């Protein structure tokens, strides 16, 4: 008898990671989530007791190993979502004055940790014909002043994911740009500004679920385009 699919989501204590974990859990998935703030992660799990929490920092090799062990210990692994991200300093600095220690931290979190996680999870994803999904940003492809710490890390993550898709035909590898959202990280990018007009992550998660359901070829996708395609498909019924 087939078991329910299993997902591993980094940065699952808040924002898009939490919204996506909840949506998958509601759909019958078994979901392992992590987060650096143990208290917030515990609160997220209390809201959805079916989630499995592993607190820690994704840049820590021992934590990554524990995270993967928790997921594969459920019997299989069908989806890995590299969602945990580091924005860098706030307010966003120009490249001319960007602190290099902060730049290193952003690359460690946004590029090196996802690569290390991919290396650990690829055997299980190959076995299940599963999906690798990296959460990207429009800052990966657009040159916005002040976004020179964060944006290039997401560009690197996009390309890493594209290469993964070319090298691993047994899986799907997606980079997904969710668009602007009403999250704490986005607020840090715009300190003191009102960002209440941005959509909540819970409104973005369904577009990503559609991507997982339809499983198009590996590549880079925008949540707004996926949502529009879903709306057109629904209208055509």
**Torsion, Cα of 72, 76, 82, 84 (10° steps):** -50
End-to-end CA distance of the chain: 32
Instruction: Please tell me the predicted confidence (pLDDT) of residue 228.
Output: 87
Q: Tell me if 169 sits within 8 A of 218, measured CB to CB.
A: no
Q: Which two tokens stand for residue 191?
A: 């300190």
pTM for the model = 0.95
pLDDT at res. 1:
39
**DSSP secondary structure code for residue 36 in this structure:** S
The predicted pLDDT at position 47 comes to: 85
Of 205, 51, 41, 188, residue with least CA distance to 133 = 205
Q: How many CB atoms lie within 10 A of CB 209?
A: 16
Report which of 137, 144, 216 is spatially closest to residue 178, judged by C-alpha positions.
Answer: 137
Is the distance from CB of 154 to CB of 136 less than 8 angstroms? Answer: yes
Query: What is the CA angle 228-231-233, rounded to 5?
Result: 110
Radius of gyration of the chain measured on its C-alpha atoms? 17
Q: Which helix (H) or strand (E) holds 20?
A: helix 15-26
Low-confidence spans in the chain with pLDDT less than 50: 1
Paired strand residues for 8: 32, 80
Question: Which residue's structure tokens are 């560009």?
Answer: 155
* Active-site annotation, residues: 136, 150, 154
pLDDT, position 232? 60
Percent of the chain with pLDDT over 90: 92
The one-character DSSP state at 5 is: P
Task: Please enumerate in sequence order all residues whose Cβ is within 8 A of that of 226, keeping only pairs 6 or more positions apart, or say none.
Answer: 207, 208, 210, 211
pLDDT for 49 equals: 86
**Structural domains of the chain, with CATH:** 6-235 (3.40.50.720)
Strand, helix or coil for residue 61: helix
């Amino acid at each position: 008898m087939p078991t329910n699919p299993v997902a591993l989501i980094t940065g699952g204590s808040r924002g898009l990671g939490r919204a996506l974990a909840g949506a998958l859990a509601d759909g019958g998935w078994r979901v392992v989530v992590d987060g650096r703030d143990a208290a917030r992660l515990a609160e997220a799990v209390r809201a959805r007791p079916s989630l499995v929490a592993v607190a820690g920092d994704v840049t820590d090799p021992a934590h990554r190993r524990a995270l993967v062990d928790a997921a594969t210990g459920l019997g299989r692994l069908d989806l890995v979502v590299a969602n945990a991200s580091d924005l860098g300093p706030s307010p966003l600095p120009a490249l001319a004055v960007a602190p290099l220690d902060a730049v290193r931290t952003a690359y460690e979190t946004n590029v090196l940790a996802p690569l290390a996680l991919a290396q650990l999870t690829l055997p299980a994803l190959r076995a299940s014909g599963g999906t690798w999904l990296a959460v990207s940003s429009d800052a990966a492809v657009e040159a916005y002043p002040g976004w020179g710490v964060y944006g290039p890390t997401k560009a690197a993550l996009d390309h890493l994911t594209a290469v993964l898709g070319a090298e691993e035909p047994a899986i799907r590898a997606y980079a997904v740009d969710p668009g602007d959202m009403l999250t704490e990280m986005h607020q840090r990018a715009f300190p003191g500004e009102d960002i209440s007009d941005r959509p909540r992550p819970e409104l973005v998660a369904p577009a990503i679920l559609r991507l997982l359901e339809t499983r198009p070829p590996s590549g880079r996708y925008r949540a707004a385009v996926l949502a529009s395609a879903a709306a057109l498909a629904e209208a055509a019924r």
